[in-house]
Amino acid sequence: MISVKDVCKTYGKGDNLFTALYNVSAEIADGSTVAIIGKSGSGKSTLMHVMSGLDTVSSGEVVVNNKSLVGLKPKQIDAFRSKEMSFIFQSFFVEANQSCYQNVMLPLEIARVARRDRRKSVLLALKSVGLEDKVDSLAKNLSGGQKQRLAIARAIVNKPKLIFADEPTGNLDTTTGEVIINLLLELNKKRGITIVIVTHDQELAQRCDEQIFMKDGEIKKTVKLHPAIKSPVIKSAKKASQ
Amino acid sequence: MFITDTIRRAWRSIRSAKGRTILTALAIAVGTFALSLTLAASNGAKTYVNKIINDNFDPTELIVAADNSLFGQGDSAKPREYDPSFGTSTSNAGSTTQIKKITESDIKKIADVAGVEKVREDITVNANYITRPNEKKFVATIASYNPAQRPDLLSGNIDDSFSGPNIVLPEGYLSDLGFDNAADAIGKTVTVSIPRNITPEQIRSQLQSGTLAQTPEEFAAQAQANAIEKQLTIIAVSKKPVTSQPGTELYIYTPLEEARRLNDISLEGSTDFRKYNFVLVKVDGGNDPAKLDAVAQKVKDLGFQVRTVKETQEFLTNIIGVLQGIVAGFGFIAIIASVFGIINTMYISVLQRTREIGLMKALGMRKRDIGRLFRFEAGWIGLLGGIIGSSLAVTLGLSLNPWITQRLNLGEGNSILIFDPVQIIALIVALIVISILAGWLPSRKAAKLDPIEALRTE
């Protein structure tokens, strides 16, 4: 569970003071899918950075999986991040000159996973995104959708409880984006991974359990769909759209 | 991240930027090339000097001279006060100078020093020629035999009883003097012509008979006629020496007693009669450096210039060392220049890979590991440069060695470039360390990068 309480984040000083987050409080339940929606500059990315410990808060409290990130040393936050969470980005950030295998291996190396356990995990992760036949292909030879699937494999290889996805479909066409979203939601359903998606895409947001609308650094509205209602409705809508 | 994982990741990174890596490594390779060759040349030269000295000198002997200019210490541009012991000396460069020489009475004084076992002169006699019946005449130099030398013999045998009018003939004379092979020469005699000064008696009788030489040509002819021929027996034939002092390859060796006789004949009536450039003083128990030094000090106290074989060796290797130092200096400059190349390359690499760094940080990679990743990349470049440079040097050196040996006339089996694997490995390790140090600043920049900023880079 992620709990953000009264978080403020400011940059600069004096006249240049810029408030990126103002008194933001939110809770994200384990195993849920949450969309953070807003225009650029609304603070949605900053909120994600704060939740993941990539950025510090000016005031307030951030608790992830019962651990308060405020006041932790960078080293501890790094170790925590390498074990508990992962990321997917709009522009994939896959290592173009390295093979899919090496790309997916990175989080395992960072988390100091024993060498003998790595290969199995990597192959499994690649299989779950349907890239089992691309193990030794260089990442630069993949299509955009494949690259994002590779990024997803990299995100799940270390079995995190939490995935942050920053505009995961932003660089993809509608059809490919759809595949990626389905993949993410499937991971959520099958493995219970909490997924936080930062997006300005309303359609994508509507498929999540919860939507947090942001504007000018503040949460304007939180929409929670009751799982019992949401599931059948969304599912049928998805089927219809395909 | 485990160190080994970081090292492997670093290797993959530099491999994915081949052009940049190779070019940076080549800069290091230039310095490595120069340093490897310098080290090899230094090894070779030192080995060669030691070989020459060990093959030509007895370490229990002191080299004693009356004049410090013989040891390259005098100032030849400064006039020296004359005394009757001065005589002429011809340097290897061909210049004839006057130097203070060791006289018979000096030898007596030195021989009386406690701890001196034996004093022997180093004698070379410039014969007019050596020949055999029905053969041409060839120039020759006869030298006193040094028991420490032990030349390789093709035929015959030298033992402690080597004495009398006998010689060791160098292999080079064999065919010119009409011998079929080395064994053929043993026991045969050769004729050696020793020049002789015209004696006062001869001049007196010529004056009386009115046949005194009037022109330089007549005088030369008389001197020629004055030379006497000696019969010497070949008891051994020496192999072409591998490590002789340059210029002594064709020396015909004869026992010290015989050399003295011939020398007396040749110099009688001249100012150089029974004067020597230097003498060799054998020290009783001279294998003990303390005894050797004690005797050396006593001889020095008598006013002579003394060198031990070790000092001579050090003197020669010091000269080599200075030359090596100069070349090595240029190698170091090249390496320092290439260090800036590494810094530059690594900075560019950090800039180009901002997003990768951001991603690694987002995935929880620690600052320390990111710094290491970039330092190891620099280290890999250093290793590559080291391997390229040293293997080029080894390849070139080994293939040029025979040619250099031939051009410098070093004698078969001697190489001027000797590569020591330990040195080369040490050099490469040093390069890796230097490269890692060069990667320090860029790696700090990478480690300090703000992941949020880095991930925003599009």
Residues A132-161: pLDDT tens digits? 999 999 999 999 999 999 999 999 999 999
Is the same domain home to B240 and B339? no
Least CA distance to A112: which residue of chain B?
B1
Please answer whether residues B150 and B129 qualify as being in contact, where contact means their C-beta atoms are separated by less than 8 angstroms. Answer: no
Can you give the C-alpha Rg of chain B in angstroms?
33
The strand order across the sheet containing B116-121 reads B116-121, B278-283, B61-65, B305-308
Q: Which residues of B touch A79 (CB under 8 A)?
A: 364, 366
Q: Which residues of A touch B365 (CB under 8 A)?
A: 78, 82, 110
Task: Let me know if residue B16 belongs to a domain.
Answer: yes
Instruction: Classify the phi-psi angles of B108: left when phi > 0, otherwise alpha if psi is within -120 to 50, otherwise beta.
Output: alpha
Q: Does A54 lie at the interface with B, CB-CB under 8 angstroms?
A: yes
Strand partners, B89: B97
% of chain A residues with pLDDT over 70 = 93
Task: Let me know if residue B104 belongs to a domain.
Answer: no
Is the same domain home to B430 and B351? yes
For position B381, what pLDDT does the model report?
95
Best of A94, A109, A115 to mutate (most B CBs within 10 Å, chain B): A109
Task: Locate the DSSP E strands across B110-222.
Answer: 116-121, 124-131, 138-144, 153-156, 166-170, 189-194
Is the model's pTM score more than 0.90? no
Best of A95, A116, A156 to mutate (most B CBs within 10 Å, chain B): A95
Is the same domain home to B345 and B428? yes
Which of B38, B41, B14, B29 shows the shortest CA–CA distance to B431?
B29
Q: Which of A156-170, A194-208, B49-63 has the lowest mean pLDDT?
A: B49-63
Give the domain-ending residue among B276, B295, B325. B276
Evaluate the CA torsion angle B372, B378, B384, B390 in order and state its sign.
Answer: negative
Domain carrying residue B187:
123-276
Which tokens go with B79? 């006039």
Assign 3-state DSSP to chain B and report helix, strand, coil percentages, each to 5.
55, 15, 30
Is the same domain home to B167 and B38? no
First-to-final CA distance of chain B: 27
For position B379, what pLDDT does the model report?
96
Q: Does A112 lie at the interface with B, CB-CB under 8 angstroms?
A: yes
Alpha-carbon span A199 to A42, nearest angstrom: 11
Task: Let me know if residue B256 belongs to a domain.
Answer: yes
Q: Does A179 lie at the interface with B, CB-CB under 8 angstroms?
A: no
Q: What angle do CA B221, B224, B229 make, to 5 degrees?
A: 155
Please answer whether residues B130 and B190 qualify as being in contact, where contact means their C-beta atoms are separated by less than 8 angstroms. Answer: yes
Is the same domain home to B400 and B450? yes
For A61, A81, A110, the CA distances from A72, given in Å and listed in that order, are: 12, 12, 19
Q: What's chain A's length in residues?
A: 242
Please answer whether residues B66 and B438 qualify as being in contact, where contact means their C-beta atoms are separated by less than 8 angstroms. Answer: no
Helical H segments across B210-308, by residue range: 216-226, 256-267, 289-301
Interface A-B, measured as beta-carbon pairs within 8 A, has a size of 64
For position B245, what pLDDT does the model report?
65
Reply yes or no on whether the pLDDT at A22 is more than 70: yes
Is the same domain home to B268 and B327? no
For position A234, what pLDDT does the model report?
40
For position A236, what pLDDT does the model report?
37
How many other β-carbons are positioned within 10 Å of the β-carbon of residue B396?
14
Task: Let me know if residue B30 belongs to a domain.
Answer: yes
String of DSSP letters for chain A: -EEEEEEEEEES-GGG-EEEEEEEEEEE-TT-EEEEE--TTSSHHHHHHHHTTSS--SEEEEEETTEE-TT--HHHHHHHHHHHEEEEETT----TTSBHHHHHHHHHHHTT--HHHHHHHHHHHHHHTT-GGGTTSBGGGS-HHHHHHHHHHHHHTT--SEEEEESTTTTS-HHHHHHHHHHHHHHHHHH--EEEEEES-HHHHTTSSEEEEEETTEEEEEEE--HHHHHHHHHHHHHHH-
Alpha-carbon span A238 to A229, nearest angstrom: 15
Q: Does B359 lie at the interface with A, CB-CB under 8 angstroms?
A: yes
Q: Which amino acid is at A123?
A: L
Alpha-carbon span B46 to B190, nearest angstrom: 39
Is the same domain home to B134 and B257? yes
Series of mean pLDDT values for 10-residue runs along chain B (458 residues) = 92 90 93 90 85 79 83 72 75 70 90 90 89 91 82 84 89 90 91 87 84 81 84 90 71 91 88 87 87 90 87 81 84 89 93 92 93 96 96 94 81 81 95 96 94 78
Q: Which residues of A touch B369 (CB under 8 A)?
A: 110
Minimal Cα–Cα distance from A235 to chain B, Å? Answer: 32
Number of structural domains in chain B: 2
Q: Which amino acid is at B115?
A: G
For position A239, what pLDDT does the model report?
41
Minimal Cα–Cα distance from A98 to chain B, Å? Answer: 8
Least CA distance to B363: which residue of chain A?
A82
Which of A159, A206, A182 shows the shortest CA–CA distance to A35?
A206
Contact A78 B16 (CB under 8 A): no
Minimal Cα–Cα distance from B443 to chain A, Å? Answer: 17
Reply yes or no on whether the pLDDT at A237 is more than 50: no
Task: Let me know if residue B20 belongs to a domain.
Answer: yes
Minimal Cα–Cα distance from A93 to chain B, Å? Answer: 7
For the domain spanning A2-241, the CATH number is 3.40.50.300
Please answer whether residues B32 and B431 qualify as being in contact, where contact means their C-beta atoms are separated by less than 8 angstroms. Answer: yes
Q: Does B452 lie at the interface with A, CB-CB under 8 angstroms?
A: yes
Q: Which amino acid is at A88?
A: I
For B43, B229, B298, B350, the CA distances from A93, given in Å and listed in that order, are: 53, 97, 83, 15
For position B246, what pLDDT does the model report?
66
Q: Which residues of B touch A140 (CB under 8 A)?
A: none
Task: Let me know if residue B266 belongs to a domain.
Answer: yes
Reply yes or no on whether the pLDDT at A229 is more than 60: no
Is the same domain home to B353 and B219? no
Q: Domain segments of chain A: what residues?
A: 2-241
First-to-final CA distance of chain A: 32
Is the same domain home to B155 and B270? yes
Q: Which of A54, A111, A166 sits opposite B451 (nearest CB)?
A: A54
Alpha-carbon span A92 to A144, nearest angstrom: 8
Task: Let me know if residue B296 belongs to a domain.
Answer: no
Is the same domain home to B267 and B366? no
Is the same domain home to B33 and B145? no
Give the domain-ending residue among B251, B276, B301. B276
Alpha-carbon span A239 to A234, nearest angstrom: 9
Confidence of residue A16 (pLDDT cuts 50, 70, 90): confident
Please answer whether residues B207 and B163 qualify as being in contact, where contact means their C-beta atoms are separated by less than 8 angstroms. Answer: no
For position B424, what pLDDT does the model report?
94
Q: What is the dihedral of CA A213, A217, A218, A224, to 10 degrees?
A: 30
Task: Let me know if residue B357 belongs to a domain.
Answer: yes
Which of A88, A111, A120, A42 shows the shortest CA–CA distance to A184?
A88
For position A242, what pLDDT does the model report?
38
Q: Which of B360, B362, B369 sits opposite A54 (nearest CB)?
A: B362
ipTM, two decimals, is 0.89
Is the same domain home to B269 and B328? no
Give the domain-ending residue among B276, B301, B330. B276
